Structure 1
Amino acid sequence: MIHFLPEPKHTCYSGAFIKSINGFTADKIFSRRIIHSAELCCTPGKKGLMLVLEHNPALARNDEYRLEFSSSRVKIISAGEHGAYYAIMTLRQLLESDGIPAEGYIEDWADLEMRILHLDLKRVGWNFEYLMNLPRRIASMKINYLLVEYEDKIKFDFCKIIPAASAFSKDQIRAFAAEAEAHCLEIIPLVQCLGHWEYILKHQKYAGLREYPEDVSMGCPLKPDTFQLFKSMAGEVLELHPNSRFFHIGADETTLLGTCSACSDFKTENSISRLYSDYVNKVFDYIQKENSKTALFWGDMLLHYPEMAEQFLRSAIVVDWSYNPENLREEKIRFRPIRKGALIDVNTYLQEAPPELRKDFDSCVNADAKTGTFDSLPYGGWFAKKGFKVLGASLIRRVFNVLTHAENAVQKNFTG
């Protein structure tokens, strides 16, 4: 039995299985990376099938493909580069399993526009050879974006103390980006703009930027050098990824907001949500207006301060991370606007959520007092209701959390 990853939309095949391809032809429109991928499927001089790559712009989606099997050839039909590449990946799975069937077809396309793997380089040292092998493995599963959180793993020019001893050179990062592109993977760089700065603020040189003197996790949003530091890091990373259309600014878990004296005064005179949104909007402007990239950001702080949603640029994409749900309906959820994100049940929500909050969230939470269940991932719907494009974010080591996020994203028509 043949096991595909992921499972194609439609399969219909029968007959004997043929274990090799001995040559191929391709329409001229296909790029070198597709030709090279096709070459890797071939065993010249060995009896086998002819592989034919045919471009058909009538197919609706860039990632859609059709594999057609006969006793003498296998034909790939696709409208775009990604469809052709994914067809070749499916073909390789066949060759590594029972072989290519003598007749029939396989059709497939993606339900989600963006299928992203988060590669977090923090904390440990990474072997460069291992890193270079990842794009091929990741793309074989039809993932089309790689979110790379570099943190201290780039040898920055502007500062020599931030990079870790195991940091990669810029030439290595360029080689990695080129390898990803060769496998139809687009890298989305991630550079945190305010929080999760332990790797920076632990250094005495940057201690003056801390929001709280004894804590190295977060910078002060009111100090000009905080924003300048982010720009210095992001600027060098942007130069390494000229073909990337997206840039993730992090911006999550900035729970020390309003701690330093200047921020405390600002919070009193204005609001804590304004303190956060003023800074993050500056970051958005730098990424989107000055560098013409689409910004992504983690959405948890909007849930702590829902009024802030009205102050944010709608062209940025919000990433809704939630690592607990393993079913679309559950008896308890983490509801960040009350009890600071502790698990709550339906009765707690109905009794403790203020009327204005319920007016905003009821249609997303869908609390059912009879069954005692909610929608387990309500926030994405709320972000979409506020006018944002939405990406769901799961915990990769929890398979059912990944599957629940994927099903939820498809049902609610999220971007990915």
Structure 2
Amino acid sequence: MNRETSLVPSLSVRGEFPAIAGWHYLDSAATAQKPQAMIDAVTAAYARDYATVHRGVYERSAVMTQSFEDARGAIARFLGAGSPNEIVFTRGATEAINLVAQSLPRVGRDRVLVSALEHHSNIVPWQLAGYTLDVVPLTDDGRIDLDAAESMVSERHRVVALAHVSNVLGSILDATRAADMAHSKGALLLLDGCQAAPRIPVDVSAIGCDFYAVSGHKLYGPTGIGALWGRTALLEAMPPYQGGGAMIDRVTFERTTFLPPPSRFEAGTPHIVGAVGLHAAIDWIGKVGLDAIHAHEAALVAECRSALRGMNDIQLFGPADSAGIVSFAMRGVHPHDIGTILDDEGIAIRAGHHCAQPLMDRLGVPATARASFAAFSDSSDIEALLRGLDKVRRIFS
């Protein structure tokens, strides 16, 4: 592959990511690297601005509280929410889904409709909460089969819980159709937006979903911070599932009353600096533009899949128009061996079941190798991947 003839546009942001200098990082679906603007915001928050929030009567606490709540507002705007009070800070999308699974009133419904490609974080919380799962199959090219879903959803389903973008296959859900389908039977739609939010524009109001979960570290932000968006009426009907400081109205030994959402779901001291860092990351994404990021990643996926498709020992998974993710297998080589050899060449990919073991069963493989792109990726990463795979081939030949 000749980089001079590559059709992949450059966003010219690679230099803003200090941790990837001299490294080909192709594991952004697991966690994104961090732009300097986000790193600077976190450093300043700890080194200059740090104080507790919502409690102190001193000025710095008030300033930090404002920064914390400004972050909530930024996430609300980023997701197209109607109000910042529809945003609950969590440790990530996993906690966000667990919150809904544990707190949502069931109203006589005991089933959840998921798909065969879901991450474990959109399977296990529903099981722990005592729901029965019904599983929507996939189309031949690795998309959630919404035709099948429409025939499966019923009045017994409380929630339809689906990945907006698959973390293994990169397939994009027709989320608006999924919302209409769920609502036709009185069910709610929860979307796992971990892979979608960093890659494509999200507007929860336009989609018509009821809950949306995101993780900050996949959005170029810090670990340990994420958010749940939920419709106001739904959040108001949900009791807290964790108790502690900050989320209470009045505590006595006989009875406790709770603050309205989102505070009632944010027990204890929050990840203050994480929220500040996530705000900075969202601002950075806004500066670059999600449309530009999506176009950039789509071009890289097309280039990568085209190169891999020409190798007769490579099996590709997922649709051709996957969002930023390319999963593959090499005949006769375990993905862990591929990942280890590539690491020796300065290339980082993910190898394993990607917290999607039911999907591996569906694909008929124990694991896949996964290359995932981000705004900072470019054609040199693909060239390095291809060189690395040549080395894998030589070693195992």
Q: Which has the higher contact order (CA 8 A, sep 6+)?
A: 2
**Whose strand proportion is higher, 1 or 2?**
1
TM-score normalized by the length of structure 1:
0.25
Name which one, 1 or 2, has greater alpha-carbon Rg: 1
**Whose helix proportion is higher, 1 or 2?**
2
TM-score normalized by the length of structure 2:
0.26
